[in-house]
Amino acid sequence: MAGSVDPPDGTPDGTPEGLPGGGEDEYRSVVFDESFVRAAHLQELSAQERLDDHTRPVRDRPHHGGPGPEPPGPGGRRRGSRAGALLLVLVVAMVFAAAVHLGSRQAYPPPLDQRAEPLRMTLLPLVPQGAVPGGRPADLYAHSPAAEYRSGAAGVTLPPVRRTTHFSEGQVMAALSTAKDYLVQSSLDPDVLTGGTVRPVRLLLDPDQLAQFDRSTDAPSTDGRHATAGWLVRFDPARVALADPAVRVHGSLRVAETSPGVLEVTSDHTFVYVVRPAAAPGSDTANASLFTVRRELRFHFDREDLRLHRAELVTSHLQAGPLDCAADLSGALRPLLSGQRATSTTPPPTDPHASDPATATPLCAPLSPAAQPTLPPTTGTPPPQAP
């Protein structure tokens, strides 16, 4: 039987002779063959490479025999950092450019608040052709065009609400609701009608118009800008009282967008009041009469107005009767009452050389008989009274 033969120079690696199985058998499990070395993912750098860049002692080895990455040369890590920073700057610049481009394609939002302009107003007295019909409130309403009108705020109805190009449905509703509140406070509130207060109306106005409003109510004039009747309905409490607080109302509201920042609401309503002489006892309504006011108002609302529930009153056109043609409409209204006749049916002559404002003398128009109640013969009309 042949046994193992030692090399002539002894066992490899200086392994002592006589060990069982020899040194080669003992370390065979930890010897790396060539295929294992080729499959390794890491490769130790050479001595020269470690001198050039000693930050990493190894480098990645290519897979499946492909070419591996080149070892980083001097400053390779700094070059990689600079490349990453440059890429980040480019990305940020592209995002910023895209934001600027998208922003430039959209219209800039209008300013939240625009300065309100002064109110422009016109007032037209309607003159009766004969004596003013009188009677009890129920009879007057029943035999007049106001018989089918609604009572109070129920007569100020809102149209269907739809969004516009630049305003939401909620904003359109806010504009219409504010306009309705203004009409109710300025035309139906008993305290406002009798001259007791102006505060409910004032609270609904744009602050830019408050100075004009205050002058119109404190020191009214017929200059087309400072008449009380341009803002609200007020009767002279020394001469006129309400015989029935339930005012009849009929009319409409319209809304439109006039610019990207402004909503416009136009109102056109007829208000029919039952009035009596202020000197008569409160329960004496047998000699009451009707007084009709038609108000055409135009409101503007910007986004700040909508948020704060206020309005800019742009124009106001009022027709009211029965009135005397020479009636002063700058302050409180003084209706012709039951049985009274107009003393003047044509406006007085105007002197163009006078120093008074050109609009100080009011124009007037005839009040159609169809606008007044037609009472049955049994009701009758009281004897004419001096205005």
pLDDT at 1 over 50: no
Residue 288 has pLDDT above 70, yes or no: yes
* Separation of first and last alpha carbons in the chain: 158
pLDDT confidence of residue 270:
97
Classify burial at 378, counting beta carbons within 10 Å of its beta carbon; exposed 0-12, middle 13-18, buried 19 or more: exposed
Span 301-329, average pLDDT: 94
Single out the residue of 346, 348, 341 nearest to residue 366, CA to CA. Answer: 346
Backbone angles phi, psi at 51, to 5 degrees: -70, -35
On the question of pLDDT at 18 being above 50, the answer is no
Task: List, in sequence order, the alpha helices (H) in 289-370.
Answer: 303-308
Cα dist. 99→94, 96, 103 in Å?
A: 9, 5, 6
Residue with tokens 């980040």: 88
Judge contact between 339 and 326, C-beta under 8 A: no
Indicate whether 272 pLDDT > 90.
Answer: yes
Mean pLDDT of 247-264: 95
Binned at pLDDT 50, 70 and 90, residue 386 comes out as very low
Specify the pairing of strand 289-301 against strand 312-321: antiparallel
Residue from 257, 256, 308, 314 nearest 113 by CA: 308
Per-residue pLDDT averaged across 36-43, rounded?
Answer: 60
Residue 197, CA distances (Å) to 153, 200, 214 in order: 19, 8, 12
Q: Cβ contacts of residue 291 below 8 Å, gap of 6+? A: 272, 273, 274, 275, 320, 321, 322, 333, 335
Rounded CA-CA distance 40/246 in Å is: 101
155: helix, coil or strand? helix
Short-list 292, 345, 293, 346, CA closest to 317: 293
Residue 101 corresponds to which amino acid? H
Q: pLDDT value at position 115?
A: 77
Q: What is the pLDDT of residue 381?
A: 46
Rounded Cα distance between 228 and 181, Å, is 18
Q: What pLDDT shows up at residue 37?
A: 58
DSSP 228: G
Q: Is the pLDDT of residue 80 over 50?
A: yes
Mean pLDDT within 29-37: 58
Tokens 């040194």 correspond to 23
Widest distance between CA atoms in the chain: 163
> Over pLDDT 90: what percentage of the chain?
53
Which pLDDT band, with edges at 50, 70 and 90, does 2 fall under? Answer: very low
Main-chain dihedrals φ then ψ at residue 44, nearest 5 degrees? -70, 140
CA distances 65 to 31, 70, 125, Å, are: 22, 15, 106
Q: Is the pLDDT of residue 33 over 70?
A: no
- Is pLDDT of 225 > 60? yes
- Looking at residue 274, the DSSP 8-state letter turns out to be E
Region of residue 298 (phi > 0: left; psi between -120 and 50: alpha; otherwise: beta): beta
Cis peptide before 322 (omega within 30 of 0): yes
Judged against a pLDDT cut of 80, whether residue 193 lies above it is answered with yes
**Which of 103-112, 175-184, 208-217 bottoms out in mean pLDDT, i.e. has the lowest?**
103-112
pLDDT in tens, 343-363: 877 766 666 666 655 544 458
Distance CA 199, CA 189 (A): 11
55-74 pLDDT tens trace: 566 666 655 544 555 555 55
